[in-house]
C-alpha cells in the first residue's frame, strides 16, 4: 500500500470506521482519494449508505407497517 493510494482493504476499514467515529484529516483525504479512483469501493460506499438509511428509517418507525423481524403482530 502506498501513501497516495490506499488499498481497497484499507478503504473498507476506513468506511466502516467513519460510521463509528470521525476520521482524521489524512484518513478522510486518503479515503476520498481512493473513492475517486476505485469504482468498486464507490459502489460499496453507496450500498453502505443505503443500508444505513434503511436501518435508521426502520428504527425510527417511519417505514409503513414495519415490524421487527420474527415478530407476528
pLDDT in tens, 31-43: 999 999 999 999 9
pLDDT recorded at residue 72: 58
Mean confidence (pLDDT) of the chain: 84
Q: Predicted confidence band at 68 (pLDDT cuts at 50, 70, 90)?
A: low
The Cα 68–Cα 23 span in angstroms is 32
User: Beta strands of 12-52 (E only): which ranges?
Assistant: none
Q: Predicted confidence band at 61 (pLDDT cuts at 50, 70, 90)?
A: confident
pLDDT recorded at residue 39: 95
Amino acid at each position: 500500500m502506498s501513501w497516495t493510494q490506499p488499498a481497497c482493504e484499507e478503504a473498507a476499514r476506513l468506511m466502516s470506521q467513519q460510521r463509528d467515529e470521525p476520521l482524521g484529516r489524512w484518513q478522510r483525504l486518503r479515503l476520498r482519494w481512493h473513492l475517486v479512483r476505485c469504482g468498486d469501493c464507490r459502489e460499496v460506499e453507496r450500498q453502505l449508505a443505503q443500508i444505513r438509511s434503511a436501518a435508521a428509517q426502520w428504527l425510527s418507525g417511519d417505514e409503513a407497517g414495519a415490524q421487527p423481524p420474527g415478530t407476528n403482530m
